[in-house]
Structure 1
Amino acid sequence: MDDTNPSWDLYRTFRAVLQEGSLSGAARTLGLTQPTVGRHVEALERRLGVALFTRSRHGLAPTDAALALRPHLDMLETTAASLLRTASSRGSAMRGTVRVTASEVIGVEVLPPIFATLRRQHPEISVELVLSNEVTDLLRRDADIAVRMIRPRQEALLVQRVGTVKVGLHAHRLYLERHGMPASLDQLQAHALIGFDRETATIRSMQRRLPAFRRNHFSFRADSDLAQLAAIRAGFGIGACQLALATRDAALVRVLPRAFEIALETSVAMHEDLRTNRVCRAVFDALVTGMTEHVRRQDRRPR
């Protein structure tokens, strides 16, 4: 093993080969030649003193050593990306890149108009949007700012609560005209229900309040909240939808409003160290304003 510290280029190439499964795929991703990628891998193996790949019929197979190193490679990539974003947003000009994470539905249905307004005010601010229903680690700087539907539990975060997003059962009016409006939770089992495919902690909590919403009862199953929302809008059946989103579409009708409602405490959070970063603060404030308006919208249509 060579005691000198390998350059980041070698690690970056190694990570690309892991992701692509071949030297040629990594070369295309990095904009390098295949021989250069091969030399990078060989150089890193010499420096580390371990074999990283074995050849197979399907390409390059990572060794146990390579798989053990992968989490550290991901952390290096995250740190490098965070370093570039932070450097780009320093200075007196409102210029730079900010990485935002949000759930699928919020990221697609709510945030784009907020970002469009931000763009008109600050045209040199770029936004990277990560759609995930998983809670992103802001302390590790996987993202700069997060729109969260649960109470943040990490310390060292600047958190602004924007209100409670309410979720209720909805269906398209054409579906209800064909199949009737259920009069009770028990009657839901006679309807086409839209729900999840894989169970999560949040879903288990919902099931305690809504026994009819179990996987074997669903006529349409998807772990994507966007897919479920699309099925509701298409008139497939009854599913869960944010009240604020339902107010946009007169064809969506709330079902059993007094029997079922989920309240999701919503906030915008970012790392405390970014408090003085003018670019991050501008994006943070825009998200707080936009999400507050989204919460207010849910009470604008009679239930």
Structure 2
Amino acid sequence: MTMDWNDLKVALAIVRHGTLSAAARSLGTTQPTTSRRLDGLERRLGAKLFDREAGGLRPTVLCQSLVDGLERMDAGALSVQRQVAARDTGLSGEILVTSLDWLGDEVIAPMLARFGAVHPGLVIELVNDTKVFNLARREADLAFRFGSFAQENLVERRIGEIAYALYASENYLERHGSPEATNGFSGHLLVLLDRAAGEVPHEAWLPVLAHRARTVLHANGLRAHLAAVRSGTAMAVLPCLLANREPSLRRVAVPHPGVVRAVRVGFHSDMRDTPRIRALVDFMVLEFASMEGQINPQG
């Protein structure tokens, strides 16, 4: 019996994700297509691979016995794909890049555009998402983020830094005055990240120093913080390179050195010697170096 790897991938995706809809999303297809492929595979096998339950699909004993082999096949197929993607094609081909929120839009995107402008043989795609892309599964070629990478077989490189400081608008400071650490910023208003984010390094110091200030908003995106500060409503910790572009904002002097966060790029070790990947990473390092004056918290 000849097995179609595309059908076997469906079975493996359902094992991993538990439902047809989640498996379809992971495969980039639709739930009806995923269901049809599973039905066809089970017919050809003459056996059920999953028991249908209210909460999803549960692998049968037969299916469980196949999982190790399917995982090995999947790993082998991905390895072949990475080797093909890493072939020496010079500075041509496609590069899929992922990043986060404002970092991707405000910092990474202009750099990628400049790189693409001088390399017409490249097609560069940027996806900004809170999702952690699996680089081993070629969900992306490069990822730019804060913090280290937890996935195996990745090359990680620190390529730059982003500094943060406390900012307020001129209007806010005229109305409220400069905050005083000696009284815990009493009478002042703050915008902080949403509580689901937990303790974030660039902001963790502020509630301690400003323990008598009132938090008027928790928001999960730094653009919301920037907008609130620009409106003159409250103060917030912002990336210096964004806040310094705003003529109405002023850096607030506080007895704290501020925080500098490292920006890291990660890619699979199989892509280490790929010319387009190597060239892009080297270019990004130079780009971040050229921004040093913008990110210096004392600048």
Deviates more, 1:278-287 or 1:149-158: 149-158
Distance change (3 Å), C-alpha of 1:37 and 1:209: closer
Q: Does structure 2 conserve the Cα–Cα contact (< 8 Å) formed by 1:98 and 1:125?
A: yes
Output the CA distance in 1 between the equivalents of 2:19 and 2:89: 40
Correspondence for 2:98:
101
Q: CA deviation at 1:40?
A: 1.7
Correspondence for 2:270:
273
Q: Does structure 2 conserve the Cα–Cα contact (< 8 Å) formed by 1:171 and 1:254?
A: yes
Distance change (3 Å), C-alpha of 1:286 and 1:78: farther
Correspondence for 2:6:
8
* Stretches of structure 2 lacking an aligned partner (at least 5 in a row): none
Q: CA deviation at 1:133?
A: 5.4
Q: CA deviation at 1:184?
A: 2.2
Q: CA deviation at 1:157?
A: 4.5
* Equivalent residue for 1:144, pick from 117, 141, 144: 141
> Is structure 2 residue 210 aligned with structure 1 residue 191?
no
Deviates more, 1:90-99 or 1:131-140: 131-140
Q: Does structure 2 conserve the Cα–Cα contact (< 8 Å) formed by 1:98 and 1:283?
A: no
Q: Does structure 2 conserve the Cα–Cα contact (< 8 Å) formed by 1:90 and 1:96?
A: no
Output the CA distance in 2 between the equivalents of 1:81 and 1:185: 58
* Equivalent residue for 2:286, pick from 281, 289, 300: 289
Q: CA deviation at 1:37?
A: 5.3
Correspondence for 1:63:
57
Q: CA deviation at 1:108?
A: 1.3
Output the CA distance in 2 between the equivalents of 1:128 and 1:76: 28
Q: CA deviation at 1:277?
A: 0.7
State the TM-score, normalizing by the size of structure 2. Answer: 0.72
Q: CA deviation at 1:21?
A: 7.5
* Equivalent residue for 1:223, pick from 220, 225, 228: 220
* Stretches of structure 1 lacking an aligned partner (at least 5 in a row): none
Correspondence for 1:49:
48
Output the CA distance in 2 between the equivalents of 1:31 and 1:116: 33
Q: CA deviation at 1:117?
A: 0.7
**Please, what is the CA RMSD of the aligned residues?**
4.4
> Is structure 2 residue 252 aligned with structure 1 residue 255?
yes
SS state at 1:101 partner: strand
Q: Which amino acid aligns with 1:230?
A: A
Distance change (3 Å), C-alpha of 1:292 and 1:76: farther
Output the CA distance in 2 between the equivalents of 1:302 and 1:17: 51
Q: Does structure 1 conserve the Cα–Cα contact (< 8 Å) formed by 2:226 and 2:243?
A: no
SS state at 1:203 partner: coil
Correspondence for 2:165:
168
Q: Does structure 2 conserve the Cα–Cα contact (< 8 Å) formed by 1:159 and 1:269?
A: yes
Q: Does structure 1 conserve the Cα–Cα contact (< 8 Å) formed by 2:167 and 2:252?
A: yes
**1:227-279 deviations in whole A, cap 9, x for unaligned?**
33333334331111111222222222112344351121233333333222112
Correspondence for 1:177:
174
Output the CA distance in 1 between the equivalents of 2:89 and 2:114: 21
**1:162-190 deviations in whole A, cap 9, x for unaligned?**
34321111122222233322132744352
Correspondence for 2:109:
112
Q: CA deviation at 1:194?
A: 0.8
State the TM-score, normalizing by the size of structure 1. Answer: 0.71
Q: Does structure 2 conserve the Cα–Cα contact (< 8 Å) formed by 1:99 and 1:129?
A: yes
Output the CA distance in 2 between the equivalents of 1:78 and 1:260: 46
SS state at 2:251 partner: strand
Q: Does structure 2 conserve the Cα–Cα contact (< 8 Å) formed by 1:245 and 1:298?
A: no
Deviates more, 1:107-116 or 1:43-52: 43-52
Distance change (3 Å), C-alpha of 1:210 and 1:263: farther
Q: Which amino acid aligns with 2:242?
A: L
SS state at 1:194 partner: strand
SS state at 1:207 partner: coil
Q: Does structure 1 conserve the Cα–Cα contact (< 8 Å) formed by 2:181 and 2:255?
A: no
The number of residues matched between the two structures is 286
Correspondence for 1:235:
232
Q: CA deviation at 1:220?
A: 1.1
Distance change (3 Å), C-alpha of 1:285 and 1:9: farther
Q: Which amino acid aligns with 2:48?
A: G
